[in-house]
Amino acid sequence: MLDINRIRNNPEEVKNALLKRMDAVDFTELLQWDKQRRELIVLNDEKKAKRNKVSNDVPRLKKEGKDVSQLFQEMKTLSDDIKQNDEKLREIEDKIHDYLSALPNIPAEDVIAGGKESNEVLRVWGEKPVFDFETKNHVDLATDLNLIDYERGVKIGGNSFWVYTGVGAILEWALLNYFIEEHLKDGYTFLLPPHILNYKCGYTAGQFPKFTEDVFKIDTSEANESMQFLLPTAETALVNYHVNEILTEDELPRKYFAYTPCYRREAGSYRAEERGMIRGHQFNKIEMFQYTTPEDSENAFVELVTKAEKLVQGLGLHHRVSKLAAKDCSASMGKTFDIEVWIPSMNDFKEVSSASNAYDYQARRGNIRFRRQSTGRTEFIHTLNASGLATSRIFPAILEQYQQEDGSVVVPEVLRKWVGTDIIKNV
RNA sequence: GGAGAGAUGGUCGAGUUGGUUUAAGGCACCGGUCUUGAAAACCGGCGUGGGUUCUGCCCACCCUGGGUUCGAAUCCCAGUCUCUCCGCCA
């Protein structure tokens, strides 16, 4: 949600910024509604003030034995008038609200216009592993080593589901343990939120009302404000943790992380090249989240990106960091960096973490504020999130980057204490 | 799932036979006086949002949404949530 005052005061500035991610922006109608709204408020508040004044006089007039029936007639008309204006006002405010709800966040100044093709690679870590033997892709490795059962996953869940089995499950859990340990070391608070969320959560996060079709809804009824859905990312839960709250300045920053599976419909996005576990309806992810003051959010952003990078580096996986162009960022985000890991069989980098600064966009939608010590006034908080990390691309990257000629896979050092072995081979 | 009770500004809590409560009072908190310092005492301040002709004034908000009325925290209807008891249950 953008600040209507900002649009009113600097329409051209906001418009030009939004044009980095939108094809057309026109505030003419919005500003008209805004003007109508304020005129109507002035008019109606005057009427209400009069009504209040008369109401206060009534007891005295009655005590004095005056006849008030004529006055009541007038007040009846006035009240009907107020009621009508309130209805008009509500219609206008609904229109304004709907319009603002649909606008994406303003891209940060240093975010460039355009889509995916304009993304900028900031840095690359490590090198592409070179193999002097014929390599396998992660699907074959996972199948041959009995780490993942794709067929039975489809049998019990449907297309794009899989089952981690035996050592595969242990390896998956080792990754999560590794991430959790690192976040605890950095002083983040561990949360395990519900996986089923209400409509308001999706709205605050900025996913609703536009993307209700991307989530698994719990009941079969139409999307409405009493619906519940399976969370597509823990971010949706974490951004709502302090919804409608006013935090004190010294409580900030708040640093959280959560583990949840992520449930996504991914309707129509299936591609043969993404078979295996690159894109499923359910995947495990640990999500980092911060609530900060406006002046601290840029530093927090750097911290989150750095933390995510460190996790991939700790696993020794070749990866890169990209700065997304405006159109490739989710609607709620003003700036996003992606961390992508190298998948040899695909000859490409795949996202394992997306770090974003939503600035005050989500906080406005969720009414999340803090009290500024120096002024005593409330301000909107800044919210940031970053995966730390999603396992569904890390797992394949490990298999493929650490595979050996005999079909076995070396376990990254940091995971060995949980996996219990330094090499995974077929027995 | 069944029965009952409740929801008021950071907290406790008054107000619920509708009209100087246009939300009292206590506590906490902030500022001041006093004091070597602190406590106590005393004085003052102390919810959120919106509008504005902005050193001020006005409007809205007493769980949410409707309704009755000249007028609703107060009456009526619907819903949400919390608590207690019972049942069921990992």
Per-residue pLDDT tens listing for chain A (427 residues): 999 999 999 999 999 999 999 999 999 999 999 999 999 999 999 999 999 988 888 888 887 777 778 888 889 999 999 999 999 999 999 999 999 999 999 999 999 999 999 999 999 999 999 999 999 999 999 999 999 999 999 999 888 899 999 999 999 999 999 999 999 999 999 999 989 888 889 999 999 888 888 898 886 455 566 678 899 999 999 999 998 888 888 888 999 999 999 999 887 666 666 677 778 899 999 999 999 999 999 999 999 999 999 999 999 999 999 999 999 999 999 999 999 999 999 999 999 999 999 999 999 999 999 988 877 788 999 999 999 899 999 999 999 999 999 999 999 999 999 999 999 998 7
Residue A177: CB atoms within 10 A of its CB come to: 15
Name the residue among A401, A410, A225, A383 with its Cα closest to residue A301.
A383
Domain contains A107? no
Are A135 and A31 members of one domain? Answer: no
Distance between the alpha carbon (CA) of A244 and the C1' atom of B64, Å: 15
What whole-number distance in Å separates Cα of residue A393 and Cα of residue A376?
46
Token representation of residue A61: 């007039």
The phi, psi pair for A372, rounded to 5°, reads -75, 125
Are A96 and A158 members of one domain? Answer: no
Chain B footprint positions (protein CB, under 7 Å): 19-20, 22, 48-53, 58-60, 69-71
Q: What angle do CA A409, A410, A413 make, to 5 degrees?
A: 150
Determine whether the distance from the CB of A59 to the nearest atom of strand B is below 7 Å: yes
Q: Which domain holds residue A334?
A: 116-424
Distance between the alpha carbon (CA) of A225 and the C1' atom of B1, Å: 25
Token representation of residue A425: 């081979």
Distance between the alpha carbon (CA) of A372 and the C1' atom of B34, Å: 32
* A288: three-class secondary structure by DSSP: strand
Predicted local distance difference test score (pLDDT) of residue A236: 95
The phi, psi pair for A327, rounded to 5°, reads -75, -15
Determine whether the distance from the CB of A52 to the nearest atom of strand B is below 7 Å: yes
The phi, psi pair for A335, rounded to 5°, reads -155, 135
**CA atoms in the 13 A half-sphere facing the CB of A159:** 10
Please report the ipTM that was assigned to this predicted complex. 0.87
Distance between the alpha carbon (CA) of A299 and the C1' atom of B63, Å: 39
CATH number (domain holding residue A96): 1.10.287.40
* Strand bridging mode A228-230 / A348-357: unpaired
Of A36, A69, A102, the one marking the end of a domain is A102
Chain CA centroid to CA A426, Å: 40
Predicted local distance difference test score (pLDDT) of residue A340: 97
How does DSSP classify residue A408?
-
Are A124 and A252 members of one domain? Answer: yes
Domain contains A197? yes
CATH number (domain holding residue A372): 3.30.930.10
Token representation of residue A295: 């002046």
Residues 224-253, chain A, CB closer than 7 Å to nucleic strand B: 246
Are A149 and A86 members of one domain? Answer: no
Determine whether the distance from the CB of A8 to the nearest atom of strand B is below 7 Å: no
Domain contains A109? no
Give the residue nearest to nucleotide B53 (CA to C1'). Answer: A42
- Cα four-point dihedral sign A221, A225, A228, A230: positive
Number of structural domains (chain A) is 2
A31: enclosing H helix or E strand: helix A28-63
Domain contains A108? no
Determine whether the distance from the CB of A196 to the nearest atom of strand B is below 7 Å: no
